[in-house]
Structure 1
Amino acid sequence: MSTLKRISALTALLALAAPTLAAPKISAQSIIVNPTQPELNVQVWTNRDASGDGNPVYQIGERISVGVKTNADAYLYLFNVNADGNIDLFFPNAYEDSNYVPAGTRVFPGNGARYSLSVGGPNGQDKLLAVVSTTELSLNDIAIFEGQQNFATVSVQGQDGLAQALSIVVNPLPDNAWVTDTAFFRVGNVAQTPQPQPTPVTRIQPGQREDGSFDSAMVDAYARLKGGESLGQATTYAVPWGDGWWQKFGGVGAYGDAALLHANGSSRSYSVHGRLLARYLALAQAENGATRPPSRLGWAAGDEKVIPQNRYGTTGLYGFFQNGALYDSQKYGTFWLTGPVLKSYQGLGGSGSFLGFPTRDQSLLNGAWAADFEGGSIRTVGGAVKIYRK
């Protein structure tokens, strides 16, 4: 048995959407996956967290196995950086020297492998890093096999050293020729007798229902939205909701939690994120116990949009639904508009007009609809819409 004493890796942080996308890079604090939709995809996880998004605890001496899934044949590299910065390259190794792996799911060590992996010290936060590439990487400046070693000796130390070395290695490659993923776990302080662990299972996929079938509209939406960069990993199956389907995702960075919504009869599925999703679900909870979408908004009818800074210096988000819209700004909050008020507001240019962002929900005032904004208000008087400047 080979004791792998340093199971860990660099943090993977997906770049948020921005007007100008930066080139892919590796920094000391993050592995940033290509900003364009890559042809390659890789997922990595441990046997105690098949989602790959958690932080399970292992004790020193316990056995561990690592699951990896790729969507294409590629060269695979598995690194570890432990709590004190020591690094291992545990695949490829002398037991499995060919690291060109076919598309699909593999577990390390595999059945019948001539080695096993167990957790060593020190206690603390450990991370796993998987790198796949369409071409074989030259890692001679990072790790080498010496003599009869079964595992390579890594010549760099700490996240900074590994990040700098990997940056040099992948820099000449095309933007879509490499991609990364990471998983985390903690090492405790109580030694236990190593026990066999269950084989990792494949993550829930976008659009996947519990019976194994797929909602094709959700699958298409995940690809259209570059879901790995904006939605993250699925945390639930696609399940019935009202007269349609919904699936929840973990979100990426500042995007927050996310969901794909697919109304029955529609050929497309749309996304809702973060504060917009929280307000949408709160309205559903208040109206019907969250058993279906809120009637004042209905199903998502478009992907949410980022709204650039307006004349008042306010930025935010816009979500479009069958019966209304949600507008969100950090300055004021998240509010709903619908009907003639929304139609008149958008006809003026919405948040980019002199009205700016909503400052409260649309409401009934003396039996008529009223909405207040940064730069004015809208009222319905005798069925007619009246617009006022401040």
Structure 2
Amino acid sequence: MRDSIRSLSTLTLGVLLSGAAGASDAKLSAQSIIVNPTQPDLSVQVWTNRDASGAGNPTYQIGERISVGLKTNAAAYVYLFNVNADGAIDLFFPNRYEDNNYVAAGTARVFPAGDAAYNLSVGGPAGQDKLLALASTTKLSLDDIFRFEGQQDFATVKVKGQDDLAQALSITVNPLPADGWTTDTAFFRVATAAQTPAPQPTPTARIQPGQRQDGSIDGAMVDAYARLKGGESLGNATTYATPWGDGWWQKFNGVGAYGDAVLLHANGSSRSYAVHGRLLERYLALARAENGAVRPPSRLGWAAGDEKVIPQNRYGTTGLYGFFQNGALYGSEKYGTFWLTGPVLKAYQGLGGSGSFLGFPTRDQYSLNGAWAADFEGGTIRTVNGAIKIYRK
């Protein structure tokens, strides 16, 4: 493992993480290592080549090639770590081949790039592995965590184990503004040898909407696919309908500008609804930050209505609206995708939502002096002494 890191051509990955100790401002957790509890506007997404959503848990064999992708919604400096089962930690970006870790807003990066002079391969031991992406609006001083020695191509990380990494990173980010940093994690399993799957019958047709692996059908998903003209908006199913939290979901490849999509069906509900593109990306990012994406994010819950395309408003902004059990997502190319919930959402929608003088949200709902607040294109909503106040710009 250590020799591989010093190689000119290959960095070997293997990550297995344990629980983390507490900290003051940064939230340390076994699931996500280190999390900004303020839910900043800045977001970063990390994924592996076998799970572009970043929410799954694909399996790799030891020695198998792997690539890692990331994307930020704003310009940021990004650091990519892994933690091995034995506690050794690797920093694989930045490195000598790609030493500039400044990532432009909305730019997707893949490591290694197609023309890179190095490779990433999966190292042992076998187990549950994790990747950590840390994004900051300012360049971080991480000399106490890693260093490049001599002409080596990948840095030597001084700390060992998730606990020490989390503590060291929490000290580094503590002086930063609350909205100045964020993290994301991705999971993958490492197997020691190729696993031979049980013989499966050759499919005679593609996977159908609502089809479970045992051959049964989720009728609510079938109805939703028909209602939404799924062939025009969802595309073809790429997975079977699979249990998720206390319900079901099924992935689709999307059609054109709609982007990747899922059908969500909460247990106890007679209807299923779709979430697409940028709304899906944010929905899953919130789930990953909150619970490792093993269930929907509690601030939103399950989809409770069909997505709507919002025509151009008075500010010339267009976008998407997604309605959920506990809140809503509003997404626009101009500002990004943000969540609203509770009395703030109720007041906003009572005025006409994004079509009102408020327009689209320009950041997530946030806490101000212990009460909820939200900022929009044309004004703000504040909670003052328990009452909702609305202000024009």
TM-score (norm 2): 0.51
Question: CA offset at residue 179 of structure 1?
Answer: 0.6
Instruction: Sort the Cα spacing of 1:158 and 1:84 in 2 relative to 1 into closer, same or farther, 3 A.
Output: same
Q: CA RMSD in A?
A: 4.0
* 3-state secondary structure, aligned to 1:176: coil
Question: CA offset at residue 227 of structure 1?
Answer: 4.8
How many residues are matched?
A: 236
1:145 aligns with 2:148: yes
Aligned to 1:270: 323
Among 152, 162, 166, the residue aligned to 1:163: 166
**1:81 partner letter:** V
> 1 CA distance for matches of 2:18 and 2:279?
23
Aligned to 2:303: 259
Question: CA offset at residue 84 of structure 1?
Answer: 2.0
> 2 CA distance for matches of 1:222 and 1:78?
25
> 2 CA distance for matches of 1:2 and 1:167?
32
CA deviations over 1:6-53 (Å, ceiling 9, x no partner): 34376899xxxxxxxx97514252445434442211110001111111
1:110 aligns with 2:155: no
1:101 aligns with 2:103: yes
CA deviations over 1:212-256 (Å, ceiling 9, x no partner): 1489xx89x969xx85675669xxxxxxxxxxxxxxx97446679
Does the aligned pair in 1 maintain the 2:79–2:134 contact within 8 Å? Answer: yes
Among 12, 36, 40, the residue aligned to 1:5: 12
* 3-state secondary structure, aligned to 1:111: coil
Instruction: Sort the Cα spacing of 1:93 and 1:110 in 2 relative to 1 into closer, same or farther, 3 A.
Output: same
Deviates more, 1:157-166 or 1:81-90: 81-90
Instruction: Sort the Cα spacing of 1:115 and 1:32 in 2 relative to 1 into closer, same or farther, 3 A.
Output: closer
Among 89, 92, 115, the residue aligned to 2:91: 89
Does the aligned pair in 2 maintain the 1:3–1:119 contact within 8 Å? Answer: no
* 3-state secondary structure, aligned to 2:11: coil
> 2 CA distance for matches of 1:230 and 1:117?
28
Matches within 5 A, 1:1-390: 2-8=9-15, 24-27=25-28, 29=30, 30-31=32-33, 33-103=35-105, 104-190=107-193, 210-213=255-258, 227=283, 251-252=295-296, 258-262=302-306, 269-272=322-325
**1:210 partner letter:** V
Structure 1 segments unaligned to the other structure (5+ residues):
14-21, 193-207, 234-248, 275-302, 307-390
**1:212 partner letter:** A
Does the aligned pair in 1 maintain the 2:306–2:322 contact within 8 Å? Answer: yes
Question: CA offset at residue 264 of structure 1?
Answer: 6.9
**1:154 partner letter:** V
> 1 CA distance for matches of 2:41 and 2:112?
27
> 2 CA distance for matches of 1:228 and 1:263?
16
> 1 CA distance for matches of 2:182 and 2:309?
36
Structure 2 segments unaligned to the other structure (5+ residues):
1-7, 196-252, 262-274, 312-320, 328-339, 344-393
CA radius of gyration, larger in: 1
**1:4 partner letter:** L
Does the aligned pair in 2 maintain the 1:129–1:183 contact within 8 Å? Answer: yes
Instruction: Sort the Cα spacing of 1:33 and 1:11 in 2 relative to 1 into closer, same or farther, 3 A.
Output: farther
